[in-house]
Amino acid sequence: MVVLLSKRRRFVLLVLAAFSLRLCFGEDRITFSTPIKDSETLLCKSGIFRFGFFTPVNSTTRLRYVGIWYDKIPIQTVVWVANKDTPINDTSGVISISDDGNLVVTDGRNRLVWSTNVTVPVAPNDTCAQLMDTGNLRLQDNRNKGEILWESFKHPYNSMLPRMNLRTDPRTGENLTLTSWRSYVDPSTGSYTVGLVSFPFPELLVWKNNVPKWRSGPWNGQVFIGLPEMDTLLNIDGFNLLNDNQGTVTLTYANDSFMYHFNLDPDGVIYQRDWSTSMNAWRIGARFPSTFCDAYSRCGPYGSCHTRGDPPCKCVKGFVPRNNTEWNARNWTNGCVRRAPLRCERQSNVSSNGGGGRGGKGDGFLKLQKMKVPVNAERSLANEQACPKVCLDNCSCTAYAYDRGIGCMLWSGSLVDMQSFLGSGTDLYVRLAHSELKSHSKRAIIITAPVVGVAFVAAVCVLLACQKFKRRPELEKDRSAELLFKRMEALTSGNESASNQVKLKELPLFDFQVLAASTDNFSLRNKLGQGGFGPVYKGKLQEGQEIAVKRLSRSSGQGLEELMNEVVVISKLQHRNLVKLLGCCIEGEERLLVYEYMPKKSLDAYLFDPSKQKILDWKTRFNIMEGICRGLLYLHRDSRLKIIHRDLKASNILLDENLNPKISDFGLARVFRANEDEANTRRVVGTYGYMSPEYAMEGLFSKKSDVFSLGVILLEIISGRRNSHKEENNLNLLAYAWKLWNEGEAASLADPIVFGECFAKEITKCVQTGLLCVQEVASDRPNVSTVIGMLTTENTNLPEPKQPAFIAKRGVSDAESSDQSSQKASVNDVSLTAVTGR
């Protein structure tokens, strides 16, 4: 009877049945009366996923598994398996709703092979299993608008699809992890698992038979700090990590592209794959672990791994291989041991009172820059200045590190799984005996005294600053502290988590004398350029680190607020496409900002200089466009603070040694609370040629006004011409691009230096994207994540741009007509004098 019905469903019923029946017997569901056989499958409505019986390709057996795979692609890609360890050895299997209401798989002898195994509170003829468009298989109550009884997304196997979560919840015991297949042809349970741990910091781990094989490093609110490249991934792929600080952590993944997933492969590597229609194959976007050094504890305790090093493993200074024979034979598993015992260890052997004694010969810290921090960090509530002292005062503490998003991390016992990165990373301070520090004092070592010294100077600086402001609150001019506190309040209100709050004392403060010395007393030779609010100098700290110092002009009264704004805003941001603020200095009249030094200066210095233009080939330009978008997306998408830059322009894009772009100059940035979208200002600031019409005319700014500026920058990068310059027929760049677009000649906008027929399509797409960004009506403009999608995917169905706003042209003729525009003009004067950034 059952079999008969099912046959009819597929071959006859659709033709014969009444409409009411067709609703119940959709192609995407199984009900009590419509089981499916081995030869039948379910197809979700969108047609992307299929559910049914399969045999892995290339399998030497003929075992039948029940699972979900991508339909319509030539490569079998299974994303979920039900009976992974109980295959059926022939084609007699049936998937049905059983008498207890569960979805079950039975073999030819009606033996139970697999079951959803939940308690179903309704009659079996009221439950229904449905394959959703997301690839989620659901068992639901068919009556009350479908209460979900069971779903495959809560029982993941080896794949993480968009909208799926990984989670660990110690209270309910829920532990959503991915597990690998045994091999590429054998879907049975393999030995690798990837999941989240929540204590003390959320972190992603891969285990093999419960032994760690890889870790991501702790989550700092934005990224996993052990994955230097993850920030970009996170931004484009809809990743987020939710932490309720009670142990429940959820990694969400909300990409809307279904042809995209993460998979834990049988080799224990997590691959991110997306389907390339042009290549007709899966393209690997990211993989974890990806380098030799990523393997857990590659170099053993106190060993640090350097991907480009030979040998890759090195003992941290002050440590020696535990067994030289093994170490020299490139067996690093046993790691390194401390050469000179710590003072507190020696002391505690003498008197059990212990405690770090004072005096010149105490232990100190060795600073290791750009590190993947070791496993098993402990949380301390200490702030950045107190963090080293907390570590020093506890004899079992062997290292500390401080991350703004995490706070103070301490380690006790061996330091395991350290890696030294080339790009970003965390500064790790390893405790060493005084004698070790002294013997290496020529190298870049920070010993106890300077650490305490800097902390002391900073503390004094803060104290003095606070006292000063307390003593003279009536002074209009010195509103900085007040402003800063106000700004911080604005930043942190609506955010209950105290640990996220920016505290004044957490901002790195530099000594004015140090900065003056580093820039050779702000000598002209070291001047890099003139920013909107003051000159920028190159400096070199005593340890050799190069910095860029922006000294705010004493005369610019408005500079103070912008300074505070910038300090607070940037100190909270970390992204590879944003310039890093290292600290600030407020002493007397002096206000300085200290940034990382960018040897290549700013984008406009290349883009508009005929002798340098050719350094930026098309690939580089594309990379720069993408990077700017990613940096801007980071500013716009942050859930806690929305940041509108307000002054995006080519001279505010700095380039690092590899010509990667970094957005700088947040002096005008405006921080929005999560529920704010748009604001109005009477003081229009920004730069001519980059300002959106609604901002320039009405002072209205939003994310979409940044998108406008972004569009101008994109078109400038493509063409190598300034928007403010007049093209043929006295058209500015936007009007010129629009003209070419309408003539179907968009690709000819490209700088002839970079143009190549093979790029024509890509260039056209970029021009179109740029034009979409500069449309007159703000709501027509895409948001930044869409812009990234437009640039980076092969999808060619971009919307048709509407006419851009030719603001520059109009602005000139209207210049004197209102108060606003005259203010605008004065600011523009300042901005336009800006030379090459830093």
Ligand X SMILES: *[C@@H]1O[C@H](CO)[C@@H](O)[C@H](O)[C@H]1NC(C)=O
Q: Show which residues are catalytic.
A: 647
C-alpha closest to that of 580 among 562, 598, 564, 592: 598
Convert residues 399-418 into a mask of x (bound to ligand X by CB under 6 A) and - (unbound).
Answer: -------------x------
For ligand X, give the closer residue by CB, 237 or 294.
237
Compute the distance between CA of residue 579 and CA of residue 599 in angstroms, rounded to an integer.
12
C-alpha closest to that of 229 among 304, 269, 287: 287
CA 494 to chain centroid, in Å, comes to 23
DSSP letter at 650?
Answer: G
For ligand X, how many residues bind (rule: CB under 6 A)? Answer: 46
For ligand X, give the closer residue by CB, 276 or 493.
276
Q: How far is the CB of 716 from ligand X (least distance, A)?
A: 24
Peptide bond just before 311 cis, omega within 30 deg = yes
Q: How far is the CB of 399 from ligand X (least distance, A)?
A: 12
Which of 276, 349, 499, 818 forms a contact with ligand X (CB under 6 A)?
349
325 binds ligand X (CB under 6 A): yes
For ligand X, give the closer residue by CB, 361 or 683.
361
Q: Which of positions 254-313 make contact with ligand X (CB under 6 A)?
A: 255-257, 260, 274, 285
Q: How far is the CB of 195 from ligand X (least distance, A)?
A: 4
Please choose, out of 321-329, 584-592, 675-683, 819-827, the segment that lies near ligand X by the rule CB under 6 A.
321-329
Q: How many CA atoms lie less than 13 Å away from 38 in the CB half-sphere?
A: 16
Token representation of residue 515: 């900065």
For ligand X, give the closer residue by CB, 157 or 606.
157
Token representation of residue 582: 């290292």
3-state secondary structure of 408: strand
Which of 91, 125, 542, 796 forms a contact with ligand X (CB under 6 A)?
125
Please choose, out of 391-399, 614-622, 745-753, 821-829, the segment that lies near ligand X by the rule CB under 6 A.
391-399
CA 311 to chain centroid, in Å, comes to 31
351 binds ligand X (CB under 6 A): no
Q: How far is the CB of 341 from ligand X (least distance, A)?
A: 4
Answer whether 727's CB lies under 8 Å from 736's CB: yes
Q: In which residue are the tokens 């437009």 written?
A: 790
Compute the distance between CA of residue 261 and CA of residue 275 in angstroms, rounded to an integer.
9
Convert residues 194-213 into a mask of x (bound to ligand X by CB under 6 A) and - (unbound).
Answer: -x-----------x--x---
Compute the distance between CA of residue 273 and CA of residue 283 in angstroms, rounded to an integer.
5
Q: How far is the CB of 172 from ligand X (least distance, A)?
A: 10
Phi-psi region of 501 (alpha: psi -120 to 50; beta: other; left: phi over 0): beta
Compute the distance between CA of residue 808 and CA of residue 692 in angstroms, rounded to an integer.
9
Q: Which of positions 761-800 make contact with ligand X (CB under 6 A)?
A: 785, 788-789, 792-793
Which of 309, 341, 423, 599 forms a contact with ligand X (CB under 6 A)?
341
237 binds ligand X (CB under 6 A): yes
238 binds ligand X (CB under 6 A): yes
Compute the distance between CA of residue 274 and CA of residue 296 in angstroms, rounded to an integer.
27
User: For the sheet containing 281-288, what is the strand order?
Assistant: 159-160, 260-264, 270-276, 281-288
- Report the relative pairing of strands 303-306 and 418-420 from DSSP bridges: parallel
Which of 123, 284, 449, 464 forms a contact with ligand X (CB under 6 A)?
123
57 binds ligand X (CB under 6 A): yes
Answer whether 669's CB lies under 8 Å from 644's CB: yes
Which of 59, 189, 291, 334 forms a contact with ligand X (CB under 6 A)?
334
Q: How far is the CB of 95 from ligand X (least distance, A)?
A: 15
Sign of CA dihedral 508, 509, 514, 516: positive
Q: How far is the CB of 236 from ligand X (least distance, A)?
A: 5
90 binds ligand X (CB under 6 A): yes
Which of 331, 639, 826, 833 forms a contact with ligand X (CB under 6 A)?
331
Which of 323, 495, 553, 748 forms a contact with ligand X (CB under 6 A)?
323
Alpha helix ranges (H) inside 70-155: none
Compute the distance between CA of residue 333 and CA of residue 344 in angstroms, rounded to an integer.
28
For ligand X, give the closer residue by CB, 175 or 523.
175
Token representation of residue 272: 């991110």
DSSP letter at 804?
Answer: B
CA 242 to chain centroid, in Å, comes to 14
Q: How far is the CB of 112 from ligand X (least distance, A)?
A: 6
C-alpha closest to that of 428 among 388, 383, 380, 386: 388
Q: How far is the CB of 32 from ligand X (least distance, A)?
A: 8
Please choose, out of 38-46, 232-240, 535-543, 669-677, the segment that lies near ligand X by the rule CB under 6 A.
232-240
Peptide bond just before 321 cis, omega within 30 deg = no
Q: How far is the CB of 653 from ligand X (least distance, A)?
A: 22
Which of 40, 133, 151, 326 forms a contact with ligand X (CB under 6 A)?
326
**E-strand spans in 710-837?**
none
156 binds ligand X (CB under 6 A): no
Compute the distance between CA of residue 145 and CA of residue 138 in angstroms, rounded to an integer.
13
Q: How far is the CB of 625 from ligand X (least distance, A)?
A: 15
For ligand X, give the closer residue by CB, 400 or 690.
400
For ligand X, give the closer residue by CB, 329 or 498.
329
Mapping DSSP onto H, E and C, the string for 469-530 reads: HHHCCCCCCCCHHHHHHHHHHHHHCCCCCHHHCCCHHHCCECCHHHHHHHCCCCCHHHEEEE
Please choose, out of 167-175, 470-478, 678-686, 775-783, the segment that lies near ligand X by the rule CB under 6 A.
167-175
346 binds ligand X (CB under 6 A): yes
**E-strand spans in 362-456?**
364-372, 378-380, 397-403, 407-412, 418-420, 426-432
Please choose, out of 340-348, 485-493, 654-662, 691-699, the segment that lies near ligand X by the rule CB under 6 A.
340-348
For ligand X, give the closer residue by CB, 232 or 764.
232
Q: Which of positions 584-623 make contact with ligand X (CB under 6 A)?
A: none
For ligand X, give the closer residue by CB, 89 or 818.
89
Task: Give the amino acid at 613.
Answer: Q
Q: In which residue are the tokens 């308690």 written?
A: 119
Which of 177, 243, 290, 623 forms a contact with ligand X (CB under 6 A)?
177
Q: Annotate 570-624 with DSSP letters as a single string.
A: HHT---TTBPPEEEEEEETTEEEEEEE--TT-BHHHHHT-TTTGGGS-HHHHHHH
For ligand X, give the closer residue by CB, 59 or 545.
59
Q: Which residues lie across from 756 on neighbouring strands?
A: none
C-alpha closest to that of 366 among 434, 459, 298, 424: 434
Q: Which residues lie across from 700 on neighbouring strands?
A: 680
For ligand X, give the closer residue by CB, 347 or 732.
347
Q: How far is the CB of 364 from ligand X (least distance, A)?
A: 17
67 binds ligand X (CB under 6 A): no
For ligand X, give the closer residue by CB, 272 or 571.
272
Convert residues 92-121 into a mask of x (bound to ligand X by CB under 6 A) and - (unbound).
Answer: -----------------------x-x----
Compute the distance between CA of residue 691 and CA of residue 712 in angstroms, rounded to an integer.
9
C-alpha closest to that of 800 among 748, 753, 738, 723: 738
Which of 12, 72, 148, 170 forms a contact with ligand X (CB under 6 A)?
170
Q: How far is the CB of 14 from ligand X (least distance, A)?
A: 20
**Radius of gyration of the CA atoms of the chain, in A:** 31
Residue numbers of the site for ligand X (CB under 6 A)? 57-58, 89-90, 115, 117, 123, 125, 168, 170, 175, 177, 184, 193, 195, 207, 210, 236-238, 255-257, 260, 274, 285, 323, 325-326, 331, 333-334, 341, 345-346, 349, 378, 394, 396-397, 412, 785, 788-789, 792-793
